[in-house]
Structure 1
Amino acid sequence: MVKFIKAQILILLLLGLSTATSAQDATKAHKDSLNSVINKYYELNLKVFQANSKAEDINAIFDLFTDDFTYVHPKYGGTYTREDLYNGYLQNQKNGGYDGSIIDFKIINKIVGLNAVVVEKIFVNKNEEENQEDKSEMTLFEFRNGKIFRVFEYW
């Protein structure tokens, strides 16, 4: 009887460890997925910021967003709908606002949480030094079903 109880305890412990490992694996996969979307977002924005970018490049960014996406930037006008932001991208592109002067984004810090990522980054401009940490900017990305639901700029 004692051997039977010990065997059951061992089985329960092993199942508990297995469940904990599975939960950790799922959490890591979730964070990796969010991280991947953020990396893609910056990669696509860098492409759009070049002088030869096209509307298709902008469309690729917007494929990362939910249908009810909002962009919040209190310093530059408040809250923008998906449509407002899309039209702004197109207008900037049409007016030559994307001229290739931004050559990279440098991620200084990133915190990945449950359905949210906070990024501290700098724009790297071709006419300035790359080491511009004093110009860092903070952005919060919120996610729903693996897509960006809201971007909130804190700069």
Structure 2
Amino acid sequence: MMKKTVTNLLSILFIFFLIGKINAQEIKMTHKDSLNVVLEKYYELNLKVFQSGSNIDDIDNIFSLFTEEFIYVHPKYGGVYTRENLYTGYKRNQEKGSYNGKVIDIQIINKIVGLNAIAVNKRFIKKVNDKTVEGEINMTLIEFRKGRISKIFEYW
């Protein structure tokens, strides 16, 4: 009887141990998954803005993914931009008609998901003279804080 009780107790403890391990793995997976969801939403919303007929609400939807202290770094195109600088640039490009539907897709080639960052290799797919043209592969590092994008660093 005592042997059966000890065996049952050990079985229960083992089950709790397994449940604890499973829950810990689910939390890690959920965190990575949530970063991927934000990343995919970011590129999806950018693609929408790049189309003819996009509006200020489309830009606002992108910026809802950013933290208040968000910064954008692109050394090739001027360096560091605050959230406000980048927003002004998006609005200006939209008003000038620069978002005209030539970018038809953003293809993610590869990504590495870290604790609070994702390194992305991507390329823009454009329509040029009725032909689909694949752009160069670019590298971007996107950092997250509390599930929102806090920094984007372009390495192209």
TM-score where L is the length of structure 1: 0.90
Match of 1:107 in 2: 108
In the alignment, what sits opposite 1:65?
A: 66
Q: Deviations over 1:91-111 (max 9, x none)?
A: 111112111110111111122
Determine the structure 1 residue equivalent to 2:38.
37
The structural deviation recorded for 1:5 is: 4.2
Call closer, same or farther: CA 1:151–1:21 in 2, change over 3 Å.
same
Structure 1 residues 97-147: Cα deviation after superposition (integer angstroms, max 9, x where no partner): 111110111111122221211111100001154555xx1011111111111
Flag the 1:131–1:48 CA change in 2: closer, same or farther, 3 A: closer
Residues 14-56 of structure 1 show CA distances to partners (whole Å, capped at 9, x for unaligned) of: 2221111111111111111111111111111111111211111
Is 1:88 the counterpart of 2:86? The answer is no
**Distance (Å, rounded) in 2 between the aligned partners of 1:48 and 1:82:** 17
- Separation in 2, partners of 1:130, 1:32: 30
Contact in 1 for aligned 2:126/2:134 (Cα 8 Å):
no
- Partner SS state of residue 106, structure 1: strand
Map 1:13-52; keep pairs closer than 5 Å: 13-52=14-53
**Alignment gaps of 5+ in structure 2:** none
- Which consecutive residues of structure 1, in runs of 5 or more, have no partner in the other structure? none
Q: How many residues align?
A: 153
Q: CA RMSD in A?
A: 1.6
CA contact under 8 A between 2:118 and 2:143: conserved in structure 1?
yes
Cα deviation per residue 1:38-79 (whole Å; 9 max; x = unaligned)?
A: 111111111111121111110110000011100011111111
Partner of 1:139: 140
Q: Percent identity?
A: 54
Once the two structures are TM-superposed, the CA of residue 2 in structure 1 deviates from its matched residue by 4.7
Tell me the distance in 2 between the aligned counterparts of 1:125 and 1:73. 21
SS at match of 2:53: coil
| SS of structure 2 residue aligned to 1:126 | strand
List structure 1 runs of 4+ shifted beyond 6 angstroms: none
- The answer for the alignment partner of 2:151 in structure 1 is 150
Distance in 1 (alpha carbons) for counterparts of 2:134 and 2:60: 31
**Higher mean Cα deviation, 122-131 or 137-146?**
122-131
What TM-score comes out, normalization by structure 2 length? 0.90
Q: Which residue of 2 aligns with 1:12?
A: 13
